[in-house]
Amino acid sequence: MEKYFRFSTLSIVTTYLLIFFGGLVRVSGAGMGCPDWPKCFGRWIPPTNINQVPEIYIEKFNIVLAWVEYINRLFGAVVGLVILLSCFFAYLYFKKNKHIYIPILMALILTIIEGWLGSMLVHTVLDPITITLHLLLALIIIGLIIYSSIRAYIVIKGNFELNSNYPQRIKWLIFSLITCMVIEIIIGTEIRGALDMSRKDNPLIKGAILLNMLGSFKYAHTILGILLISITYYLRKILINLELSCSRLMLFSVNSMFVIFFLQILSGEFLVFFDVKPVIQLFHMWFSSLLIGLGVVQYTCFKISKI
Amino acid sequence: MNKTSIISFFILIVFLGIGSSWVINKANESNSIPPPVMKKIPDFNLMNYDGKPFSRDSLLNKISVIDFIFTSCPGPCPIMSKNMKELYNQYKLHPDLQFISISVDPDYDNLEVLNAYADANGVTDKRWKFLRGKMIDIKNLSTNGFLFMSENLPAGHSVKFVLLDSNANIRQYYDGTDKASISILRKHLNIFLKNMNLKS
Mind listing the pLDDT tens digit for each residue in A175-200?
999 999 999 999 999 999 998 888 88
For B183, the closest of A30, A58, A125 (CB atoms) is A125
Closest alpha carbon within chain A to B17: A279
DSSP for residue A43: B
Residues of A whose CB is below 8 A from B26: 64
Q: Please give, rounded to a whole number of angstroms, the shortest distance from the CA of B61 to a CA of chain A.
A: 19
Q: By the CB < 8 Å criterion, does A283 face chain B?
A: yes
Asked if A204 and B186 come within 8 Å (Cβ–Cβ), the reply is no
CB pairs under 8 A between A and B: 74
Q: By the CB < 8 Å criterion, does A278 face chain B?
A: yes
- Picking from B23, B171, B189, B198 by the largest number of A CB atoms within 10 A of its own CB, the best residue to mutate is B23
Give the separation between CA A10 and CA A142, rounded to whole angstroms: 11
Q: Which of A212-216, A266-270, A287-291, B181-185 has the lowest mean pLDDT?
A: A212-216
Asked if B197 and A204 come within 8 Å (Cβ–Cβ), the reply is yes
B2 burial level (CB within 10 Å; 0-12, 13-18, 19+) = exposed
The pLDDT of residue A146 is 98
Give the separation between CA A110 and CA A293, rounded to whole angstroms: 17
Asked if B94 and A203 come within 8 Å (Cβ–Cβ), the reply is yes
* Domain spans, chain A: 1-158, 161-307
- Give how far Cα A230 sits from Cα of A177, A235, B81, B192, Å: 10, 9, 52, 48
Q: Please give, rounded to a whole number of angstroms, the shortest distance from the CA of B157 to a CA of chain A.
A: 17
Asked if B180 and A32 come within 8 Å (Cβ–Cβ), the reply is yes
The pLDDT of residue B24 is 97
* Bond before B36 cis per omega within 30 degrees: no
Q: By the CB < 8 Å criterion, does B21 face chain A?
A: yes
Confidence of residue A37 (pLDDT cuts 50, 70, 90): very high
For A68, the closest of B27, B93, B175 (CB atoms) is B27
Confidence of residue A69 (pLDDT cuts 50, 70, 90): very high
The pLDDT of residue B155 is 79
The pLDDT of residue B200 is 67
The pLDDT of residue A215 is 74
The pLDDT of residue A242 is 82
- Give how far Cα A287 sits from Cα of A193, A268, A272, A290, B50, Å: 18, 11, 17, 5, 57
The pLDDT of residue B18 is 97
Mean pLDDT to the nearest integer, A62-74: 96
The pLDDT of residue B1 is 57
The pLDDT of residue A244 is 67
Residues of A whose CB is below 8 A from B29: 64
Q: Give the tens place of pLDDT for each residue, B85-128.
A: 999 999 999 999 999 999 999 999 999 999 999 999 999 999 99
DSSP for residue B143: I
Averaged pLDDT of chain A: 94
Q: By the CB < 8 Å criterion, does B135 face chain A?
A: no
Give the separation between CA A289 and CA A12, rounded to whole angstroms: 12
Q: By the CB < 8 Å criterion, does A49 face chain B?
A: no
Q: Please give, rounded to a whole number of angstroms, the shortest distance from the CA of B136 to a CA of chain A.
A: 29
Closest alpha carbon within chain A to B192: A204
- The interface residues of chain B toward chain A in range 23-82, judged by CB-CB distance below 8 A, are 23-24, 26-31, 35
